[in-house]
Amino acid sequence: MFKETAQRLKAAGPLLAQTTLLKEVRISSTHGGSSVHGHRYFNVTCSLCAKVPPRKKPRVKVDIPGLERITYGDRMHYVPGLAKPSFPTWVRDWNDPSHYYAPKEEEMPLHKEKPCFIFNQRTNALEGVRQALWLTKSKLTKGLPDQVLSLAENEANQIENQDERVQNAIRHARFWDTTEERPSREKFCMALLRSLIHLCGSLQVSHSGLGRRILAEKYSLAATWNRGEDLFQVRGQNGLLLNSIAPLPVLAGKEEVQSTADHVLETFYPISPTIDLQSVQVYEEQNHTGFKEDYPYPHAHTLFLLEAGDTPVTLLPEQLRAKMIMFAFGNALARAHTLHGTKPRVLEQPIVVQSVATNGRMFQYVMFQLNTTDLQADEGVKNQVWVENDQLLYDFAKVHPLIKKRVVQIPPGLSGYKPETFQKFLSLYLHGAV
């Protein structure tokens, strides 16, 4: 039946022939005249089905000792039945970039058999803060130091009409700075962060030390260290960095630093500390802060990170705090290597770096003090980390009210403002200038 239909419709064109053949298959399948499974579409190719043809496996040439293959190499032309000869690779006597073949990874002059584990801005650490504490050999203290929190409690360090201006900054980021119904999270996160930084910078009139700082964006960091038997590196771009001419004051005294030697680092066996870190071959173990040696603002003050939710990698709060610790540690370690070299030692003058992260509503605060660059063994002096997590700046910022069962659950506009969260933000900003 199919042959007769194909001959009858050959003159009618290929498209009509395919359509009629499709109908014949459906009719014969319905009435039991053929054993076709489902509908067969003859006019659908593999490209329309998004099927990639499998990659061909290369044939493995087997060399049998004592048995020579008979090839057609001496005859200078192809002969059926004889094996294909293998000729040596022709090496040019000149440099031809269009015919360059890179050497194998093992043949590179700077190749190292020991891999390096990279922590970058997209790393999503499984164990979160615990993993970051082990990688940086640090002791965790919950809450910020009292000497830092007391800075914003002093009325002389507060902004005039502080709560009102902070709420206006929130409204500007969430409602006013857009022509759309509501701005994207990536946009209002950056707008809110810059507004708060600008608001804190208005205290420069009474605190001249705030004028000796500068914001840097899209700088690239690299800090390398050995931990146990593995090599680690913090590398890449990471948010906004507030640099200062003078370093931050030390948070913990010498006695407290020496007491960290008795602290036992928490492990998470059987999970490996290198889980979720990128394993690569690093040819040169570089350490640089991302700035030139004669940069007038060499000291990292505060690192600002955004978790907008629009990026390919969305971090949970636990993983975001781990990222804050790692990059604060990376900035401090790179500065220590610049000042004291790469030889492991206990620092006479510890290096302090702060970090602030937000998703536009919730804030995370981290303060890191680098006490030692001897990170290979678990024994000895540890570094110190202070973490203040999950601090809400406000509860809701709604364009339209939330109504359930004819009852307004959440009114429109800004609601639930919490002034203590901004006071901690202001304390970290004033640290080192008061």
Give the pLDDT confidence score for residue 17 in this predicted structure: 42
pLDDT over 50 (residue 236): yes
Compute the mean pLDDT over every residue in the chain, rounded to the nearest whole number: 87
Give the pLDDT confidence score for residue 376 in this predicted structure: 93
- How large is the angle between the packed helices 185-201 and 419-430, nearest 10 degrees? 60
pLDDT over 70 (residue 135): yes
DSSP 225-276: EEETTEEEEEEEE-SEEEEESSPPPPSS-HHHHHHGGGPPPP--TTS-TTTT
220 touches 237 (CB < 8 A): yes
Mean pLDDT for the stretch of residues 241-265 = 94
Q: What is d(CA 244, CA 301) in angstroms, rounded to the nearest whole number?
A: 6
pLDDT over 80 (residue 33): no
Task: Summarize pLDDT for 324-348 with one digit per residue, the tens.
Answer: 999 999 999 999 999 999 999 999 9
Task: Summarize pLDDT for 213-231 with one digit per residue, the tens.
Answer: 999 999 999 999 999 999 9
Give the pLDDT confidence score for residue 27 in this predicted structure: 41
Strand order across the 346-358 sheet: 138-142, 383-392, 362-372, 346-358, 299-306, 240-244, 213-217
Mean pLDDT for the stretch of residues 397-420 = 90
Give the pLDDT confidence score for residue 22 in this predicted structure: 42
> Quick check: helix, strand or coil at residue 127?
coil
**Local confidence band at 356 (pLDDT 50, 70, 90 cut-offs):** very high
- pTM of the prediction? 0.79
Mean pLDDT for the stretch of residues 12-30 = 44
CA dihedral 203, 206, 211, 216 (to 10 degrees): -20
Q: Between 411 and 49, where is the model more confident?
A: 411
Mean pLDDT for the stretch of residues 376-392 = 95
**Local confidence band at 249 (pLDDT 50, 70, 90 cut-offs):** very high
24 touches 8 (CB < 8 A): no
Mean pLDDT for the stretch of residues 199-220 = 93
Q: What is d(CA 193, CA 173) in angstroms, rounded to the nearest whole number?
A: 9
- Residues facing 138 on adjacent strands: 383
pLDDT over 90 (residue 60): no
Task: Summarize pLDDT for 284-328 with one digit per residue, the tens.
Answer: 888 999 999 899 999 999 999 998 765 567 899 999 999 999 999
Mean pLDDT for the stretch of residues 38-56 = 61
Q: Between 291 and 99, where is the model more confident?
A: 291
Percent of the chain scored above 90 by pLDDT? 63
Q: Between 411 and 370, where is the model more confident?
A: 370
303 touches 238 (CB < 8 A): yes
Our CA angle for 155, 161, 162, nearest 5°, is 70
**Local confidence band at 62 (pLDDT 50, 70, 90 cut-offs):** confident
Task: Summarize pLDDT for 260-288 with one digit per residue, the tens.
Answer: 999 999 988 899 999 999 999 888 888 99
Give the pLDDT confidence score for residue 47 in this predicted structure: 53
Q: Which of 37-41, 266-270, 359-363 has the lowest mean pLDDT?
A: 37-41
Q: Which of 72-86, 183-197, 302-316 has the lowest mean pLDDT?
A: 302-316
Q: Between 42 and 294, where is the model more confident?
A: 294
